[in-house]
Amino acid sequence: MNFDILISFVIATATLAISPGPDNIFVLIQSITYGKKQGMAVVFGLLSGCIIHTSFVAFGLSSLIQSNVKFLFILKLLGAGYMLFLAYRVFKSSNIIDTKAKATVKKSLLDLFKQGFIMNVINPKVSIFFMAFFPAFLFSKTQSLVLQFFILGFLFMVTSLLIFSMLVFFSSSLGAVLKSNHRYGAVLNWTQIVVFLGIAIFIVLTP
């Protein structure tokens, strides 16, 4: 087992989790608007949805990789290309994060959990991202691919939980910072671009 690869995976996941995106912005807005409990309900819903995507990727990709050795190389090239596309999309996007958005109706914790879960599960981009992201961080030559994908999925969820929980806990302070300093959003966007480019390079160079 290569722990360096796992550490790299955790670092990349943490950087992506803290960068501006629809999920963490939604969590932040709910926390600012209604409170920390509501924000955490969304967090647990979103991360529960990741279990579905991890299972899809684990069982789907594992059989394909095992049946065709060259498929992993092709998959890595496609993954690197997808990461470059994500970097380009962030580069072209706005640096402004709208923290003034308000939900019209206050929902129960269960409703927010279900909303976060459904938002994640019905988004095919999550599975596509996992398919592009996870194969670059396979960390063992002896353990089964299914187990490795589930370990990566578990690490992704735990790391995201820690980052999202900090967003919820510091939501009031973060909201004030984002409203008063638009450059903060630009810094986060460029950090995300660098991470995507770094992952793309890592994917290509990993044997």
When mean pLDDT is compared across 26-40, 67-81, 127-141, the lowest value belongs to 67-81
Quick check: 133 pLDDT over 70? yes
Residue-range definition of the domain harbouring residue 172: 3-205
Measured distance CA(18)–CA(77) in Å, rounded: 26
Q: Stretch 130-136: mean pLDDT, rounded?
A: 85
Quick check: 201 pLDDT over 90? no
Chain centroid, CA 141 distance in Å: 25
Residue pair 5/143 in contact (Cβ under 8 Å)? The answer is no
pLDDT tens digits, one per residue of 81-129: 877 887 887 787 655 555 555 544 567 889 889 888 988 888 777 888 8
Q: What is the pLDDT of residue 193?
A: 78
What tokens were used for 55?
Answer: 């299972």
Q: What is the pLDDT of residue 18?
A: 79
pLDDT tens digits, one per residue of 161-181: 999 999 888 876 766 666 556
Q: How many domains does the chain have?
A: 1
Chain centroid, CA 195 distance in Å: 12
Using CA atoms, how far residue 187 sits from 112, 170, 174, 194, in Å, is 30, 18, 14, 11
Using CA atoms, how far residue 189 sits from 38, 39, 49, 93, 180, in Å, is 26, 22, 25, 9, 17
